[in-house]
Chains A and B, each alone.
Chain A
Amino acid sequence: MKHPTPKATRHVSRNEGLIFEKSSPGKMAWKLPPLDVPDVDAQKLLGASRRTDLGNLPEVSGIEIIRHFTRLSTWNYAIDLGMYPLGSCTMKYNPRVNEMVARLDGLANAHPYQPEKVSQGALRILKTLSECLLEITGMEAITLQPAAGAHGELTGLLMVRAHHQAKGDPRKKILIPDSAHGTNPATAATVGYAVENLKSNAQGMVDVAALSAQMNEEVAALMLTNPNTLGIFEQEIHKIADIMHAKGGLLYMDGANMNALVGKVRPGDFGVDLMHLNLHKTFSTPHGGGGPGSGPVAVQQFLEPFLPRPVVIAKPDGTLGFDYDRPRSVGRVRSFYGNFGMFVRALAYIFANGPDGLRQTTEDAVLNANYIRQGLEAAYDLPYPTPSMHEVVFSDKLQAKQGVRTMDIAKRLIDYGFHPYTTAFPLIVPGALMIEPSESESREELDFFIEAMRSIAEEVEEDPEMVLAAPHTTRVSRLDEVAAARNPVLRWKPKG
């Protein structure tokens, strides 16, 4: 290591096998209360449907379970341990009061079909969060049903399709910038649209002339991430909206990068027709190792009739309820009402911030990204010098001369005590290093990060082989992903 890092040091890491390897018959971690009704003869009740063999479920005791999963947990990096600068992922602090309120008895144990009169508190949460999100986005109607960002995209495009069909003008294509997330084209295909790529210009923004040329009556919508995945605000957003609207197309905004905008500018004010939010990004609900997320979709009033069923309404008597009688709805996109537990957390986050806190959060997120940009501009290639918002994208152009690529630098960053940034995305930047610090990092942590990145740049010049072999401090070294895909082992099996 070029400079000893102040961030990390080696410590003992415990080995731990698979839980199945600890199992032995007769060990247990459970006890049921005595049965207070007559016991039954399962064979008699179920006949051929009765199961006799539960396969290889583990049999272990309580202390073994605690140690097993605690040991596994220590092998993870997490936002609680330090900066997690994944671009477009918005890894921010997950406040613990959110977890506490989501576990309150009435909320955690509410059955989705319990009568509305016994659900008023839950309905109030849905309504209050909806109102806050509408104010934040500047939109006019919302559904909280989608379970994640990609699910929100799907819901949005279903509404786009319903809108055009209602006008007797079913359209065929969705325009998607070449910098977009992979979920955008995958979603368009799921909804039965053809995907047409839109090239970015030299500034890393939508090429407005190209958009003008490509836009026609076959195009249903443009899916635009703003700020885009380069962290650049689409400065000609008003022209983009006008071009789409002039030919009857809609402007869909992927709200993955909303953390750059909250309290400073509202998509509804700059011509967006519909958009999704990621509560697990902008609104602090924990990523949980890959989910759950939540992807509400906010729309302008003319799309309101197409919202998924049901929607929350205020009844004449002042109570809240669900309205299922929505003949023009696109239907349901999942069971029940969405990832309610995430709504509780997101609303608690909004309460903790208030208008001033939300604005300051956005300002700090943008300040942090620009501070990193300034700190690393001399050491890494910056392919697009356009001003950055909440994230900055470098390339590995300078380091590639030594044969070191973005993934190698990312792996070396682990040795310095950081989680890697997003590698090799967006696709329009060869060898991209996509860095989003979020507002949750102190100046000290950012300085450590900048120092680590500069140190790695020096190491690349002096000892590229060492960087190529990184990480050197983790319990496993680089894993053979090719072998994993070629001969997939997707589950444990007993020996013999």
Chain B
Amino acid sequence: MRYLPKSPADRRAMLNSIGVRSIDDLFAPIPAEYRLNRDLKVPRQMAEAEIVDWFRERSRETGADYAATFLGAGAYYHYRPVIIDALISRGEFLTAYTPYQAEVSQGTLQAIFEFQTMISELTGMEVANASMYDGSTAATEAVMMAARLSRRHSVVVARSVHPEYREVLSTYAAHQNMPLVTLPYSESGQLDLKDLERAITEQTACVLIQSPNFFGTIEDVAAVAELAHRKGALLVVAIAEAVSLGILEPPRPADIVALEAQSFGVPLGFGGPYCGVIATRFEYVRQMPGRLVGQTTDRKGKRGFVLTLATREQHIRREKATSNICTNQALMALMATIFMTVYGKAGLRELAKQNLAKAAYAAEQCGKYAKVLFPNAPRFHEFVVETSEDPRAINNRMLGHKIVGGLPLKKFYPELGHAALWCCTEMTTRTAIDTAAGFIAESERSVKSAPEADAEEVAR
């Protein structure tokens, strides 16, 4: 077997020096009745070329040749500078373990320290951790952190937070005696501040909002923070689109920010691995979950970095830890660090501005033929289009032209049955936008000329 560095003679010699006759003697502790005396029924050993072929075929079946996508909704298609994979493919990063042994892990540790710094700068927070699994678990752990900090239990959640983030939160909250109060979105797509004011009580640990929210609309973070803080509740802001931070004021009045940094150089990869991260105020750091890297000095006074404040963590505190998280998303955090370094201060602003411009143009084009919902609030690069026809039917027709249309919202918001969430990034070409808008125009024309058409039927 090509991954195993031993000859049959090596194995014999090793068995001899151990003093056993056969390898089976080493498996004697396993009760005989449970030992597997047959081959596993998995595919036979394949040559490298066969493996590559098999996966190439799967890649072709997964839209490898698609021209454009208008999907966003928490997973964003941005350009990934080539330098990212060149650097993260270095075995010293790729094949290293968690940097517990600081003297032989300074590379990873310094890179994480740089990550923590950049995320702090971008989110407007004082400190960030070394990463969480993804945006949904970061938001959930941020809420649990807020409950520990405030010593309160109830949570107010905006319905405009990513539906899957809310699902994860409710999975965890069910076992933490944590009632969730979900607030509707208003005409503007934002949280209604009057609803919010009524919902926050003396038991409210925190308010969880997302900005830009699931509909792409920017929330009034300062106003929400004011209402939360007035009653002693904390504000947790989830950010699913990290690139927005290049042009949107970060949620500085928030107490905790839960960020999904996938947009920073992490491939879409059918949903994972991604890069969650939690950022907060310095005074809250001891209730923060996840690993943290800190600066220190060695015995000769030289600067170096270590994992620190480990008394928050499971390997020290066991059932009293702030979280059960151990393995995080270190390599994705490295991708994000390199991405932020490539674009830097000026590039990230320009990148964000291109996203803003593409979406503004697309919304304008779509708005000529169909209704763009929530028109009165500012948005970043996503917008909701309501059509007369079921958007799944329109999307089906676009698929024939290798274009993936916006996300039909019916699954998450039944009341928005004919609406879809569209996203444009710097990767979306004007041609693709014009083509997609053309499909919407055609759909509206045909619905108006043939009111009997059964959209549901086409959608199937």
A398 close to chain B: CB less than 8 A: no
A57 pairs with B91, CB closer than 8 A: no
- Minimal Cβ-Cβ distance residue in A for B250: A51
B59 pairs with A107, CB closer than 8 A: yes
Residue of B28, B311, B345, B395 with most partner-chain A CB within 10 A: B345
Identify A72's interface contact among B30, B107, B122, CB under 8 A.
Answer: B107
When chains A and B are docked, how far (Å) is the Cα of A190 from the Cα of B6? Answer: 44
B455 close to chain A: CB less than 8 A: no
A113 pairs with B73, CB closer than 8 A: yes
Please name 12 pairs of A and B residues whose Cβ atoms are closer than 8 Å in the assembled complex, sorted by A. A46-B218, A48-B249, A78-B95, A84-B97, A106-B58, A183-B324, A278-B327, A289-B97, A291-B330, A340-B269, A481-B102, A492-B117
B429 pairs with A36, CB closer than 8 A: yes
**Among residues 64 to 92 in chain B, which have CB atoms less than 8 Å away from a CB atom of chain A?**
64-66, 69, 71, 73-75, 77, 81, 83, 85-92
List, in ascending order, chain A residues with CB within 8 A of B346's CB: 28, 59
Identify A120's interface contact among B18, B62, B347, B378, CB under 8 A.
Answer: B62
Q: Give the shortest distance, in Å, between A244 (CB) and chain B (any CB).
A: 16
Mask of B324-352 contacts with A, CB within 8 angstroms, 1/0? 11111111101000101111111111110
When chains A and B are docked, how far (Å) is the Cα of A125 from the Cα of B73? Answer: 23
A288 pairs with B93, CB closer than 8 A: yes
A336 pairs with B90, CB closer than 8 A: no
Spot the interface stretch: B195-203, B229-237, B314-322: B314-322
- Minimal Cβ-Cβ distance residue in B for A79: B95
Identify A481's interface contact among B64, B114, B308, CB under 8 A.
Answer: B308
List, in ascending order, chain B residues with CB within 8 A of A382's CB: none
Q: Give the shortest distance, in Å, between A221 (CB) and chain B (any CB).
A: 14
Q: Known contacts A66-B87, A118-B62; decide if A269 and B34 are in contact (CB<8 Å).
A: yes
Spot the interface stretch: B44-52, B150-158, B180-188, B445-453: B44-52
Q: Known contacts A354-B45, A387-B28, A442-B10; decide if A185 and B330 are in contact (CB<8 Å).
A: no
A10 close to chain B: CB less than 8 A: no
B298 pairs with A478, CB closer than 8 A: yes
Q: Known contacts A490-B127, A490-B292; decide if A136 and B40 are in contact (CB<8 Å).
A: yes
B270 pairs with A335, CB closer than 8 A: no
B57 close to chain A: CB less than 8 A: yes
Interface size on A, residues (CB 8 A): 203
Q: Give the shortest distance, in Å, between A298 (CB) and chain B (any CB).
A: 14
A387 pairs with B29, CB closer than 8 A: yes
Q: Give the shortest distance, in Å, between B221 (CB) and chain A (any CB).
A: 9
**Among residues 359 to 384 in chain A, which have CB atoms less than 8 Å away from a CB atom of chain B?**
359-361, 363-364, 366-368, 370-371, 374-375
List, in ascending order, chain B residues with CB within 8 A of A55's CB: 121-122, 124, 345
A259 close to chain B: CB less than 8 A: no
List, in ascending order, chain A residues with CB within 8 A of B361's CB: 37-38
Q: Give the shortest distance, in Å, between A180 (CB) and chain B (any CB).
A: 9
Given contacts A106-B63, A371-B14, 8 further A-B contacts (CB under 8 A): A91-B95, A114-B69, A135-B42, A158-B175, A266-B36, A286-B95, A363-B23, A479-B103
Q: Known contacts A35-B357, A286-B331; decide if A336 and B270 are in contact (CB<8 Å).
A: yes
**Among residues 290 to 305 in chain B, which have CB atoms less than 8 Å away from a CB atom of chain A?**
291-300, 302, 304-305
List, in ascending order, chain B residues with CB within 8 A of A280's CB: 327
A403 close to chain B: CB less than 8 A: no
Mask of B256-275 contacts with A, CB within 8 angstroms, 1/0? 00000000000111111110
B59 pairs with A106, CB closer than 8 A: yes
Shortest 3 CB-CB contacts between residues of A and residues of B: A336-B271, A288-B331, A354-B45
B2 close to chain A: CB less than 8 A: yes
A212 close to chain B: CB less than 8 A: no
A188 close to chain B: CB less than 8 A: yes
B31 pairs with A237, CB closer than 8 A: yes
A331 pairs with B133, CB closer than 8 A: no
When chains A and B are docked, how far (Å) is the Cα of A335 from the Cα of B210? Answer: 15
When chains A and B are docked, how far (Å) is the Cα of A362 from the Cα of B50? Answer: 24
A364 pairs with B273, CB closer than 8 A: no
A440 pairs with B3, CB closer than 8 A: yes
A385 close to chain B: CB less than 8 A: no
B46 pairs with A354, CB closer than 8 A: yes
Q: Give the shortest distance, in Å, between B404 (CB) and chain A (any CB).
A: 5
A108 pairs with B319, CB closer than 8 A: no
List, in ascending order, chain B residues with CB within 8 A of A367's CB: 11, 14-15, 18, 23, 26
Q: Give the shortest distance, in Å, between A94 (CB) and chain B (any CB).
A: 5
When chains A and B are docked, how far (Å) is the Cα of A91 from the Cα of B100? Answer: 14
B35 close to chain A: CB less than 8 A: yes
When chains A and B are docked, how far (Å) is the Cα of A477 from the Cα of B14? Answer: 36
A405 close to chain B: CB less than 8 A: no
Mask of B95-117 contacts with A, CB within 8 angstroms, 1/0? 11111011111111011111011
Q: Known contacts A78-B91, A287-B96, A480-B297; decide if A491 and B324 are in contact (CB<8 Å).
A: no
Mask of B31-43 contacts with A, CB within 8 angstroms, 1/0? 1011110011111
List, in ascending order, chain A residues with CB within 8 A of B411's CB: 324
- Minimal Cβ-Cβ distance residue in B for A308: B171
A491 pairs with B43, CB closer than 8 A: no
B356 close to chain A: CB less than 8 A: yes
Q: Known contacts A338-B272, A351-B43, A478-B298; decide if A37 and B358 are in contact (CB<8 Å).
A: yes
A331 pairs with B167, CB closer than 8 A: yes
List, in ascending order, chain B residues with CB within 8 A of A68's CB: 341
A391 close to chain B: CB less than 8 A: no
When chains A and B are docked, how far (Å) is the Cα of A391 from the Cα of B122? Answer: 44
When chains A and B are docked, how far (Å) is the Cα of A132 from the Cα of B272? Answer: 20
Q: Give the shortest distance, in Å, between B377 (CB) and chain A (any CB).
A: 10
A149 close to chain B: CB less than 8 A: yes
- Minimal Cβ-Cβ distance residue in A for B54: A351
List, in ascending order, chain A residues with CB within 8 A of B23's CB: 363, 366-367
B293 pairs with A490, CB closer than 8 A: yes
A111 close to chain B: CB less than 8 A: yes
A352 pairs with B101, CB closer than 8 A: no
B404 pairs with A118, CB closer than 8 A: yes
B414 close to chain A: CB less than 8 A: no
Q: Known contacts A182-B321, A331-B171; decide if A30 and B55 are in contact (CB<8 Å).
A: no
A393 close to chain B: CB less than 8 A: no
Q: Give the shortest distance, in Å, between B62 (CB) and chain A (any CB).
A: 4
When chains A and B are docked, how far (Å) is the Cα of A61 from the Cα of B154? Answer: 48
When chains A and B are docked, how far (Å) is the Cα of A308 from the Cα of B112? Answer: 32
B42 pairs with A350, CB closer than 8 A: yes
B271 pairs with A30, CB closer than 8 A: no
When chains A and B are docked, how far (Å) is the Cα of A192 from the Cα of B174? Answer: 9
- Minimal Cβ-Cβ distance residue in A for B361: A37
A330 close to chain B: CB less than 8 A: yes
Identify B63's interface contact among A76, A118, A181, A387, CB under 8 A.
Answer: A118
A340 pairs with B272, CB closer than 8 A: yes
B324 pairs with A190, CB closer than 8 A: yes
B328 pairs with A104, CB closer than 8 A: no
Mask of B142-175 contacts with A, CB within 8 angstroms, 1/0? 0000000000000000000010110110111011
Q: Give the shortest distance, in Å, between B403 (CB) and chain A (any CB).
A: 11
List, in ascending order, chain A residues with CB within 8 A of B135's CB: 335
List, in ascending order, chain A residues with CB within 8 A of B304's CB: 476, 479
